[in-house]
């Protein structure tokens, strides 16, 4: 069998078949084709190393006159079926949508620029495990520019980025949390916690929140309260004793920052009665989730979830006994949209 290279040589005219010697460009073309056919595999694309990195970890969109930036604080694998209240249903749901285990849990942090203030919602896991600081700077902001940080609850993956080794990471920010949340984690005696898990979380809360208290940069609120123009609190107790959501409104656009109302969107939207081991009061957490998601679906609110796959923002509609989740449409240009 003749090789492609041999066939090509036979097809190229020899110098004896011409009355006149062919021009140089013709022979150069033949040689180039031969060279391309016979090049070693070592020069092919497989020798180009894979990048194995994502693009800059922030996403932006407009909310009326406000600008929303979402920062990725990274992801971590979780055997999510083993820590939820109905493992069999969780596994069945994952199989139905062809989602592999372990589940990749997102850690998202949100920032609203009102035009006058920079208001952040939670702070992720902290410098040791998270990526908030690097992605904040990539987006064009500095930690010193943040005016306020609104805490949904004081679990380590939400307040971990507040301080590092006793130093405030956002030196000009005032931290806000519900009074019930602050009292539970910061004023309960260590020996009064019912488990080592809660005790350990209280110690982490002290380590990250206390520097702000000592600097006079910590405030609490109680119930529904407007903290800034267009930004209000919503009690959603259950996941923790003082868990809070935040409603942000600008023009005709509304977004709910839901904190840990949702841990696994793929399961808890269609089956909102399923709870997780991290819930302090599971029945209250379930009730809060049902109420909050119904409110979002009825009113057309955007919701923002720190553990929903990045960037964790989308819309809800009611579907059977649960909800249908639709991520926001990606928009290349950051500009306002009508409802």
Element (H, E) at 293: helix 282-299
Beta strands in 205-274 (DSSP E): 218-221, 226-228, 231-235, 244-250, 253-257
Q: How confident is the model at residue 31 (pLDDT cuts 50, 70, 90)?
A: low
pTM: 0.85
CATH number of the domain that residue 264 is part of: 3.60.15.10
Shared domain for 70 and 28, answered yes or no, is: no
pLDDT score, position 194: 87
Of the chain, the end-to-end C-alpha distance in Å amounts to: 68
* Average pLDDT along the chain: 89
Residue 336 falls inside a structural domain: no
pLDDT surpassing 90 at residue 201: yes
Residue 244 falls inside a structural domain: yes
Shared domain for 27 and 95, answered yes or no, is: no
Shared domain for 142 and 11, answered yes or no, is: no
**Model pLDDT for residues 325-335, shown as the tens digit of each residue:** 999 998 888 88
DSSP type of residue 173: P
pLDDT surpassing 90 at residue 143: yes
**Model pLDDT for residues 268-296, shown as the tens digit of each residue:** 999 999 999 999 999 999 999 999 999 99
Shared domain for 90 and 144, answered yes or no, is: yes
Average pLDDT over residues 71-75: 97
pLDDT score, position 15: 43
pLDDT score, position 51: 80
Shared domain for 165 and 32, answered yes or no, is: no
Residue 335 falls inside a structural domain: no
Sign of CA dihedral 159, 164, 167, 169: negative
> How many domains does the chain divide into?
2
Contact 178, 233 (CB under 8 A): yes
Residue 318 bridge partners (DSSP): 323
Cis peptide bond prior to 250, omega within 30° of 0: no
Residue 120 falls inside a structural domain: yes
Q: How confident is the model at residue 47 (pLDDT cuts 50, 70, 90)?
A: confident
Q: Going by C-beta distance under 8 Å and a sequence separation of 6 or more, which residues neighbour residue 209?
A: 154, 159, 162, 163, 175, 177, 182, 185, 186, 218
Residue 122 belongs to domain spanning: 58-327
Residue 334 falls inside a structural domain: no
Q: How confident is the model at residue 34 (pLDDT cuts 50, 70, 90)?
A: low
Shared domain for 69 and 8, answered yes or no, is: no
Shared domain for 35 and 134, answered yes or no, is: no
Q: How confident is the model at residue 27 (pLDDT cuts 50, 70, 90)?
A: low
Shared domain for 252 and 196, answered yes or no, is: yes
**Model pLDDT for residues 85-100, shown as the tens digit of each residue:** 999 999 999 999 999 9
Shared domain for 30 and 177, answered yes or no, is: no
**Model pLDDT for residues 175-189, shown as the tens digit of each residue:** 999 999 999 999 999
pLDDT score, position 182: 98
pLDDT surpassing 50 at residue 14: no
Percent pLDDT > 70 in the chain is 86
Shared domain for 161 and 13, answered yes or no, is: no
Shared domain for 115 and 216, answered yes or no, is: yes
Residue 51 falls inside a structural domain: no
Give the whole-angstrom CA distance, residue 280 versus residue 20: 93
pLDDT surpassing 60 at residue 106: yes
Q: Which of 321, 311, 223 has its CA nearest to residue 269? A: 321
Shared domain for 41 and 179, answered yes or no, is: no
Residue 339 falls inside a structural domain: no
Residue 106 falls inside a structural domain: yes
pLDDT score, position 42: 52
pLDDT surpassing 80 at residue 43: no
């Amino acid at each position: 069998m003749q090789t492609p290279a041999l066939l090509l040589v036979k097809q190229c005219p020899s110098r004896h078949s011409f009355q006149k010697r062919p021009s140089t460009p013709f022979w150069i073309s033949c040689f180039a084709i031969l060279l391309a056919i016979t090049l070693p595999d070592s020069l092919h694309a497989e020798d180009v190393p894979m990048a194995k990195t994502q693009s800059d970890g922030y996403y932006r969109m407009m909310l009326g006159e406000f600008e929303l930036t979402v920062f990725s604080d990274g992801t971590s694998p979780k055997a999510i079926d083993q820590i939820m209240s109905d493992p069999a249903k969780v596994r069945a749901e994952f199989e139905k949508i062809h989602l592999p285990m372990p589940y990749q849990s997102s850690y998202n942090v949100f920032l609203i620029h009102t035009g006058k203030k920079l208001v952040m919602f939670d702070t992720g896991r902290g410098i040791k495990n998270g990526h908030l600081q690097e992605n904040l700077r990539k987006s064009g902001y500095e930690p010193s520019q943040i005016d306020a940080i609104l805490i949904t609850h004081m679990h380590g993956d939400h307040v971990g980025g507040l301080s590092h080794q006793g130093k405030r990471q956002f030196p000009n920010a005032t931290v806000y949390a519900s009074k019930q949340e602050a009292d539970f984690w910061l004023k309960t005696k260590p020996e009064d916690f019912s488990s080592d898990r809660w005790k350990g979380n209280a110690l982490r809360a002290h380590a990250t929140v206390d520097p702000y208290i000592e600097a006079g940069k910590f405030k609490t609120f109680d119930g529904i309260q407007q903290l800034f123009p267009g930004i209000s609190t919503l009690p959603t107790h259950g996941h923790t004793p003082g868990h809070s959501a935040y409603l942000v409104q600008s023009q005709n656009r509304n977004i709910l920052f839901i904190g840990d109302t949702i841990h696994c969107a793929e399961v808890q939207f269609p089956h909102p009665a399923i709870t997780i081991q991290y819930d302090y009061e599971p029945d209250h957490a379930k009730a809060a989730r049902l109420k909050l998601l119904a409110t979002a679906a009825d009113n057309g609110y955007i919701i923002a979830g720190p553990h929903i796959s990045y960037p964790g923002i989308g819309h809800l509609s009611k579907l059977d006994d649960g909800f249908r989740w639709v991520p926001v449409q990606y928009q290349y240009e950051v500009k306002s949209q009508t409802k």
